[in-house]
Structure 1
Amino acid sequence: MNIFLTGACGYKGTVLVPKLLAAGHQVTAFDIMWFDNHLAPAPGLTVVQGDIRDADQLDLSGFDAVIHLSSVANDPCSDLNPLLTWEISCLATMRLADKAARQGIKHFIYASSGSVYGLKDEDSVTEDLELVPLSEYNKTKMVGERVLMSYSDQMTVQIVRPATVCGLSNRMRLDVAVNLLTMQAISKGEITVLGGDQTRPNIHIDDITDLYLFLLNRPDVQGIYNAGFENISIRDIAEMAAKHTGAKIVIKPSNDPRSYRVSSAKLLATGFKPTKTVEHAIREIVEAFKAGKLKDEDRYYNLKWMQHKGLAGV
């Protein structure tokens, strides 16, 4: 397939692109590159630095599929500039979906978020529950989903609601739970846990990127799917990181008691099988740090880097 991939230079995109190329696809990697470009040149890869908000840059003629990863990622970054968040994560999604339909794209995969559910009391959060998004980030993802589903009679629409992603990427993020706690353990010898009893769903970066490849090959699998295979507590994550680093754990009070468990039974019923765990991610991060391939740097924390680069006012 000839694939148009937005957000291709981001945390997930940087892992996904080589997998798409290895599977024989042609990839146009479209990204604004706020966090630079860590994609290695390769046959079949075209890298385009562009702004998803500029509809004139979005020529989809000749493409077979769109994988749309672009957004202002996570709540703190989205809150820096709510207008920018709505422009990138919502309005640009609307324009991209409209252009895809008009230009005959037959396959559209949209990266939403498991956070669209908001606070839930249910023991297991399934796709049919009401969405009650709490932040600008969550709200834009919910609206993006509804926009895409309105085109489901014109193209295959697959919407993924990932849990918190963990694991290594050349465009690393250290501001997500597993990666953050593991880096604390490695660099400081101490892990600070706020509360600790809160349960969160997680997914390894290899599994979420493998899922996009799986969906490309399964146009019959349409609709909305949760993707989170380990519902574990923050304390359990810290204990795993401590086991592999020898770090001590310090528990402090938390004003965020939220716990929720995501069910991915609907996705598993399609035949998709995850292959990695949170513990894999922790081991990989520890090994990369010891090998000198990973350091604790501001550029790996989205909020710090956006503030450093003055991106809040873009």
Structure 2
Amino acid sequence: MIIITGATGFIGSCLQAKLYQLKERTVIVDWLGDQGKWRNVAKHIPDDIILPENMDNFLATAKDVTAVIHLGAISETTAKDGDLVWKTNVDLSMRLWKWCTKNEVRFIYASSAATYGGANQAQDFNDDPQNIGLLKPLNLYGWSKQAFDMQVLDIVAQEQPTPPQWVGLKFFNVYGPNEYHKGKMISVVKVKFDDIVQGQAPKLFKSDQEGLVDGAQARDFIWVGDVVDVILWLLNNPQVNGIYNCGTGQARTYLDLAYAVCGAMNVSKQVDFIEMPEALKGQYQYFTQADMRRLQGAGYNKAFTSLENGIGQYVQDYLLKADSYL
């Protein structure tokens, strides 16, 4: 049995769908809430759904657990409640780490590319453990992910007991179906799609960085199916341990993305540039690009989906359908 936290959310529900297809027994630790998240798992119902406040009682008697995949977190980059973020993103993660260590259960958890903070050069996105302690996240969310990564690395450095497999994945900009509950944290792909549906040209933020033209801001956008493939590969390769980037290794501009959405929707390639909100200034990453050499060196050799193909799948197979859920 595999336990997945956060599995009524975006990445977690896509992973749940694949494990369900593979006939794996799963238990979800998450809230369904009142934002329609039940639809994310409606087609691939788990063996059980445990509310997070009941997780410790469940774990006290859980048997035959082979892995915990910890994706649950407060993931808003604009989160302000430091106590709640620490309790959720750090304390809860360490409780699961300790349980997995004690019960010899594999542990795969979500870190984040937000830990890289204001990095803006390709060489700055190196996931070598010796570099992780030097990172300077720009927001509370990224800092909380960095804090747990550092706790894990300290445990390993001190040669304290660990789960039989432990992996942290620094997710870059993930997009795909089942993200519809995410509000302001929904992917840029979905936002541009909505612009076009409303009869408008896709809107992009103007650049407020000297020397960078509007639309040239670039991110490493990764199709959610590729993220799921990486997690499944880790489950099939229990000898792999460490903290790894999870992106495509190729930065693409926001203009590329907007044009790809236009192409997938068969509309003219036009964009409108708008001013960047004050709340984002100073916390905005102008460039991200995952250095994937360490994961590939560990044996992962599957090609990543191109931005155009991923957006094409998302738009044609989901967003334009009456039922847009995976």
Structure 1-normalised TM-score? 0.83
Q: Look up the match of 1:92.
A: 92
CA distance in 1 between partners of 2:31 and 2:68 (Å): 17
CA distance in 1 between partners of 2:44 and 2:223 (Å): 25
Q: Look up the match of 2:211.
A: none
CA distance in 2 between partners of 1:279 and 1:31 (Å): 32
Q: Look up the match of 2:288.
A: 260
Q: Look up the match of 2:7.
A: 8
Instruction: For 1:169-248, list aligned pairs within 5 A.
Output: 169=178, 173=182, 175-195=186-206, 196-229=215-248, 230-245=250-265, 246=267, 248=270
The number of residue pairs the alignment matches comes to 290
The alpha carbon displacement at 1:235 in A equals: 1.4
Change (3 A) 1:193 1:127: same
The alpha carbon displacement at 1:68 in A equals: 0.3
Within the candidate set 148, 155, 159, 2:168 is matched to: 159
Whether the 8 Å contact between 1:181 and 1:241 is mirrored in structure 2 is yes
CA distance in 1 between partners of 2:13 and 2:285 (Å): 33
Q: Report the residue type matching 2:162 in the other structure.
A: Q
Q: Look up the match of 2:29.
A: 30
Change (3 A) 1:226 1:264: same
Q: Residue deviations 1:252-279, cap 9 Å, x none?
A: 3444472232211222232331442322
Instruction: For 1:294-305, list aligned pairs within 5 A.
Output: 294=324
- Structure 1 residue ranges (4+ consecutive) displaced by more than 4 angstroms after TM superposition: 170-174
The alpha carbon displacement at 1:179 in A equals: 2.4
Within the candidate set 68, 71, 96, 1:66 is matched to: 68
Q: Look up the match of 2:42.
A: 40
Whether the 8 Å contact between 1:14 and 1:170 is mirrored in structure 2 is no
Change (3 A) 1:29 1:100: same
Which moves more between the two structures, 113-122 or 165-174? 165-174
Q: Residue deviations 1:67-95, cap 9 Å, x none?
A: 0000012212x23x332222111111111
Whether the 8 Å contact between 2:233 and 2:300 is mirrored in structure 1 is no
Change (3 A) 1:293 1:42: closer
The structure richer in strand per residue is 1
Change (3 A) 1:222 1:253: same
Q: Look up the match of 1:145.
A: 149
Q: Look up the match of 1:250.
A: 272
Q: Report the residue type matching 2:194 in the other structure.
A: M
Change (3 A) 1:28 1:171: farther
Structure 2-normalised TM-score? 0.80
Whether the 8 Å contact between 1:226 and 1:263 is mirrored in structure 2 is yes
Whether the 8 Å contact between 2:219 and 2:252 is mirrored in structure 1 is yes
Change (3 A) 1:289 1:120: closer
The secondary structure found in structure 1 opposite 2:204 is strand
The secondary structure found in structure 1 opposite 2:26 is strand
CA distance in 2 between partners of 1:13 and 1:280 (Å): 22
Change (3 A) 1:265 1:160: same
Change (3 A) 1:206 1:27: same
Q: Residue deviations 1:213-251, cap 9 Å, x none?
A: 100011122101111113111111112112233153112
Instruction: Give % identity.
Output: 22
Change (3 A) 1:166 1:218: same
Within the candidate set 269, 272, 281, 2:310 is matched to: 281
Whether the 8 Å contact between 1:173 and 1:179 is mirrored in structure 2 is no
CA distance in 2 between partners of 1:167 and 1:257 (Å): 21
Which moves more between the two structures, 31-40 or 7-16? 31-40
- In structure 2, runs of 5+ residues without a counterpart are 207-214
Change (3 A) 1:183 1:244: same
The alpha carbon displacement at 1:116 in A equals: 0.5
The alpha carbon displacement at 1:139 in A equals: 1.2
The alpha carbon displacement at 1:171 in A equals: 5.5
The secondary structure found in structure 2 opposite 1:188 is coil
Report the aligned-residue RMSD: 2.5
CA distance in 2 between partners of 1:200 and 1:170 (Å): 18
The alpha carbon displacement at 1:18 in A equals: 2.1
